Chain A
Amino acid sequence: MSLSSKKGKIRGKKKGLSKRKGSTGSSGSHGSADLKIPTDKKHKAKAIQEAIRSDPPDIANLRRLAISDGGLLRDDLRRKAWPKLMNVNVFEIPPKPANIKAHRDYRQVVLDVERSMRRFPTNMKEEQRLRLQDQLVDIILRVLVRHPELHYYQGYHDICVTFLLVVGEDLAFAIMDKLSEYHLRDFMDESMDRTRHILGYLMPIVGKAHPELREFLERSDVGTIFALSWLITWYGHVLTDIRHIVRLYDFFLACHPLMPIYLAAQIVLYRSEDILRVDCEMTMVHHTLSRLPEDLPFEHLVSRAGDLFIQYPPSMLAKEAELEFLSSTTISCYEDFEMATNQKPDTVLRRRRRFGNGTAQNGDVKTVQLRKPTNLALKFAVWAISASLGAAALAVVNVVNEWF
């Protein structure tokens, strides 16, 4: 495996990207200096604080900052930004219900939380960890008691613990309450049918970008279960470094609920050389795929996953893979979420219409047209997704500019 050479390539790429960002931001094509993503941490932190403080909060800008290089940078910024991204009213957090122990999943939640020690910092005192573990049980059950239609799954607590460690008990509950209704909704059905439906996007995405790799994976019969824990825990179960996990959460909170599966596809694509080198045989391929290297270049992967989303949006794949797009509650509810919150990060992306024969190839994004955005928020939204995401995204921005 030639990771060092890969890293070299990526470093080169990142340099190019920041250059492009700089030049695009300063070109003034949108007529606002605010749209430039600061390349240094100090200025970016200031921009994040400003987006949080503005009234109403500048969600479009906050999303853009959360996606771009380094994400929301620090946990103190995340504590303020994450609730805003999820449209949480911090002054109206529902109180704890009294009857959590009576819930059907109480016992299992306790068992799972008891063996979640690995997710807490190693230098944390036992007393503090035990207190946080009690809070973790409370957070999960507060959500479950409030939403009897939602079913707990092993891995849900891997997401909760990340929020608990960063924002504390009450805000973690409020964020999980929203996420469970929207982004995680499909995973919380009684059955796993809809979770498998989401996994069903993986191979079509991989196939669009790398047909040979998809053919290899399908010939090996490996399936998609290797990515199950990535998807339903938002990578919390499989990554060891909390800094990587929170960076990904910045990205996911700012994006469409299907973004975790696009990231999974991007990770598989990134590792294509390693995968194609093993025997085309189920066990070996599964073994290779399911073990994530510790040193994945997350900024690069985030940026490329965003590109994949723009090039191959869910609507395109759902049709191609003969998946029922609207059978996902998460995806259909997300439209409600956008309406309710007036946050439209990818409305524009979903509205894209393909011209010609509709077979946009890798890197062929210029053939994709966008309807004229109807308001300024939408215009910013295009930026939020695209400005940070590399060449393909910039091509889209250029197309959009023609409409403004």
Chain B
Amino acid sequence: MAAGPYNYSYIFKYIIIGDMGVGKSCLLHQFTEKKFMADCPHTIGVEFGTRIIEVSGQKIKLQIWDTAGQERFRAVTRSYYRGAAGALMVYDITRRSTYNHLSSWLTDARNLTNPNTVIFLIGNKCDLEAQRDVTYEEAKQFADENGLLFLEASAKTGENVEEAFLDTARKIYQNIQDGSLDLNAAESGVQHKPSSPRGTQLSNDQPTNKEGCAC
């Protein structure tokens, strides 16, 4: 059920994008289950995960869509970008080709989300320092030039995984607070859920979904 045993004030929609094999599903699994999935299979189409976090005393439910990396699936995963408040764009620091493709992923993210969508660049597999193929400085410069938040992380050790998901939420929340993200705008990717009896919530659901939730 939407609320479950918890109460939360907001729902933020995230997408995770990037080349196949960079560790998108492993990052999601590490974030939602706090475990590393060693034999993580490929994702077909999209998969979905959720977790409730807290930012500035507000409970926020993250709805995270993990997309398939293979090029041919982009035709179906693109429809999930719409209405995302946050986009985690992932590459593998040990495979330069996954870094070289970032501009294509970024173009999709920019074209298919709204101007306020927070885009967070994650260089995954930073535990594999010996096999590094992309320097931190180079990626940091790319992130700065394109106005992206950036961290190197490891789904295996858990390093910086929480930070990436939470920093994205903090930035979205800050955008709400300073008024740059209009909750009433179509496809803001954020739903405000005032704590209320269930019946009221249900009647509020319909119009909000049409605007806020993708597809």
Q: A154-B68, A237-B44 are in contact. Are A282 and B209 (CB under 8 A)?
A: yes
- The answer to whether B209 and A232 touch across the interface, beta carbons within 8 angstroms, is no
Nearest CB in chain A: distance from B23 CB, A: 11
Report which of B39, B72, B76 forms a contact with A115, defined as CB distance below 8 A. B39
Interface centre among B2, B79, B205, B215 (most CB of A within 10 A): B215
Report which of B47, B75, B205 forms a contact with A192, defined as CB distance below 8 A. B75
- Contacting residues, chain B, for A226 (C-beta < 8 A): 45
- The answer to whether B41 and A116 touch across the interface, beta carbons within 8 angstroms, is yes
B37-73, CB < 8 A from A = 39-42, 44-48, 50, 63, 68, 70, 72-73
Per-position 1/0 for B179-215, Cβ under 8 A of A: 0000000000000000000000010010001000111
CB closest chain-A residue, reference B65: A283
**Complex Cα–Cα for A112 and B68 (A):** 13
- The answer to whether A117 and B39 touch across the interface, beta carbons within 8 angstroms, is yes
**Complex Cα–Cα for A226 and B45 (A):** 8
- The answer to whether B213 and A115 touch across the interface, beta carbons within 8 angstroms, is no
Report which of A118, A153, A228, A279 forms a contact with B41, defined as CB distance below 8 A. A118
**Complex Cα–Cα for A222 and B75 (A):** 16
A340 on the B face (CB < 8 A): no
Nearest CB in chain A: distance from B203 CB, A: 12
- Contacting residues, chain A, for B79 (C-beta < 8 A): 223
- Contacting residues, chain B, for A287 (C-beta < 8 A): 48, 50
Per-position 1/0 for A273-307, Cβ under 8 A of B: 00000111111101100100000000000000000
Report which of A153, A154, A237, A283 forms a contact with B63, defined as CB distance below 8 A. A283
Interface centre among B20, B72, B75 (most CB of A within 10 A): B72
- The answer to whether B41 and A225 touch across the interface, beta carbons within 8 angstroms, is no
Q: Number of B interface residues, CB 8 Å? A: 28
Nearest CB in chain A: distance from B136 CB, A: 25
Nearest CB in chain A: distance from B96 CB, A: 14
Nearest CB in chain B: distance from A391 CB, A: 35
* Chain A-chain B contacts (Cβ-Cβ < 8 Å), number: 79
- Contacting residues, chain A, for B47 (C-beta < 8 A): 290
- The answer to whether A153 and B72 touch across the interface, beta carbons within 8 angstroms, is yes
CB closest chain-B residue, reference A282: B213
CB closest chain-A residue, reference B45: A228
B21 on the A face (CB < 8 A): yes
A229 on the B face (CB < 8 A): yes
A151 on the B face (CB < 8 A): yes
**Complex Cα–Cα for A304 and B44 (A):** 26
B130 on the A face (CB < 8 A): no
- The answer to whether A155 and B44 touch across the interface, beta carbons within 8 angstroms, is yes
Nearest CB in chain A: distance from B100 CB, A: 15
- Contacting residues, chain B, for A6 (C-beta < 8 A): none
**Complex Cα–Cα for A151 and B75 (A):** 15
- Contacting residues, chain B, for A228 (C-beta < 8 A): 44-45, 76
A210 on the B face (CB < 8 A): no
A361 on the B face (CB < 8 A): no
**Complex Cα–Cα for A193 and B70 (A):** 15
Report which of A154, A192, A221 forms a contact with B42, defined as CB distance below 8 A. A154
- Contacting residues, chain A, for B215 (C-beta < 8 A): 221-223, 282
- Contacting residues, chain A, for B63 (C-beta < 8 A): 283
- Contacting residues, chain B, for A117 (C-beta < 8 A): 39
- Contacting residues, chain B, for A153 (C-beta < 8 A): 70, 72
Nearest CB in chain B: distance from A43 CB, A: 39
A104-155, CB < 8 A from B = 108, 111-112, 115-118, 151, 153-155
- The answer to whether A284 and B41 touch across the interface, beta carbons within 8 angstroms, is no
**Complex Cα–Cα for A291 and B177 (A):** 36
Nearest CB in chain A: distance from B132 CB, A: 19
Nearest CB in chain B: distance from A384 CB, A: 31
**Complex Cα–Cα for A116 and B63 (A):** 27
Q: A151-B72, A154-B70, A196-B76 are in contact. Are A225 and B48 (CB under 8 A)?
A: no
- The answer to whether A115 and B42 touch across the interface, beta carbons within 8 angstroms, is yes
Per-position 1/0 for A17-32, Cβ under 8 A of B: 0000000000000000
- The answer to whether B44 and A281 touch across the interface, beta carbons within 8 angstroms, is no
A186-230, CB < 8 A from B = 190-193, 196, 221-223, 225-226, 228-229
- Contacting residues, chain A, for B1 (C-beta < 8 A): 278-279, 284
**Complex Cα–Cα for A280 and B1 (A):** 10
- Residues of chain B whose beta carbon lies under 8 Å from any beta carbon of chain A: 1-2, 20-21, 39-42, 44-48, 50, 63, 68, 70, 72-73, 75-76, 79, 202, 205, 209, 213-215
Additional A-B contact list (5), CB under 8 Å, known A154-B42, A280-B205, A281-B213: A192-B72, A228-B44, A228-B45, A229-B45, A278-B1
